[in-house]
Amino acid sequence: MQLLKIAILASGRGSNAKAILESIKTGALHAEGVVLLSDNPEAEALLMAQDYGVPAILVNRKAHPSREAYEAALLTELNHFDYNVVCLAGYMRVLGEGFLLGVKAPVLNIHPSLLPSFPGLHAQRQALDYGVKVAGCTVHLVDAGLDSGPILLQRAVPVLDDDTEATLSARILKEEHQLYTEALQRFQAGITIQGRTVKASAKE
């Protein structure tokens, strides 16, 4: 099986990025973390990546006059590395067409809802406000829309009567950490995309 060379984009805490790097460390994923890039100088993910021996690079959004200029700089840094998949892991920006045209491998994202319900920010709060009884998380391929690309894998969790945004988020996050590794294993084994539907590629 081809080695996955994973580039990670993260904006904050970095627990999903850490879960991926931990799966590599334990051998659950036959993969290498080649770089972690962040838009945010405060991102804990930057320090975390260094603990795993992964190059951590800040491309500060605030140091660039426009989204286009920022994304061009991000792409330049990313393309210094040899990667065959990009994982958004708590990356809090929508990627523009310029970036998506220039990136050299598929881009995956993890989102804390059962898409297509509750895209965008505060997905867990949206789920509670709506009153759903089942919530969850999704790993999907990234396109130019907001959390709108074809779905690779999803996991459901119950919503309990006494849930707060914090308790529901914690229940979902626990599943997120497993789901990203499973989605990457599935991606590595080979996928076929038909319209919006992602399936395992037929074995030869």
Q: What is the closest distance, in whole angstroms, from the C-beta atom of residue 148 to ligand GRF in the complex?
A: 14
Q: What is the closest distance, in whole angstroms, from the C-beta atom of residue 78 to ligand GRF in the complex?
A: 19
What are the distances in angstroms from CA 140 to CA 32, 50, 113?
20, 26, 11
- Residue sitting closest to ligand GRF (CB): 90
Q: Is 30 helix (H, G, I), strand (E, B) or coil?
A: coil
Tally of helices (H runs) and strands (E runs) in the chain: 6, 9
Stretch that binds ligand GRF, among 54-62, 69-77, 107-115, 181-189 (CB under 6 A): 107-115
Joined together, the tokens standing for residue 128 give 């509670």
Joined together, the tokens standing for residue 48 give 């975390």
Under rule CB under 6 A, residue 33 binds ligand GRF:
no
Q: Which amino acid is at 26?
A: T
Under rule CB under 6 A, residue 111 binds ligand GRF:
yes
Sheet holding 4-9, edge to edge: 56-58, 31-38, 4-9, 85-88, 107-111, 134-141, 151-158, 197-200, 191-194
Catalytic residues, by residue number, are: 111
Distance (Å, whole) CA 87 – CA 110: 8
Total site size for ligand GRF, rule CB under 6 A: 13
What are the distances in angstroms from CA 149 to CA 88, 122, 142, 198?
13, 19, 5, 10
Q: Which is it for the CA torsion 84, 87, 92, 96, positive or negative? A: positive
Under rule CB under 6 A, residue 136 binds ligand GRF:
no
For 40, the enclosing helix (H) or strand (E) is none
Under rule CB under 6 A, residue 16 binds ligand GRF:
yes
Under rule CB under 6 A, residue 184 binds ligand GRF:
no
Among 5, 15, 57, 94, binds ligand GRF (CB under 6 A): 15
By beta-carbon proximity to ligand GRF, the closer residue of 78 and 108 is: 108
Distance (Å, whole) CA 4 – CA 139: 17
Under rule CB under 6 A, residue 110 binds ligand GRF:
yes
Under rule CB under 6 A, residue 112 binds ligand GRF:
yes
Q: What is the closest distance, in whole angstroms, from the C-beta atom of residue 165 to ligand GRF in the complex?
A: 12
Q: Binding string to ligand GRF for residues 75 to 94, with x set by CB under 6 A, is what?
A: --------------xx----
Under rule CB under 6 A, residue 13 binds ligand GRF:
yes
Which residues in this chain contact ligand GRF in the complex, by CB under 6 A?
Answer: 10, 12-16, 89-90, 110-112, 173, 176
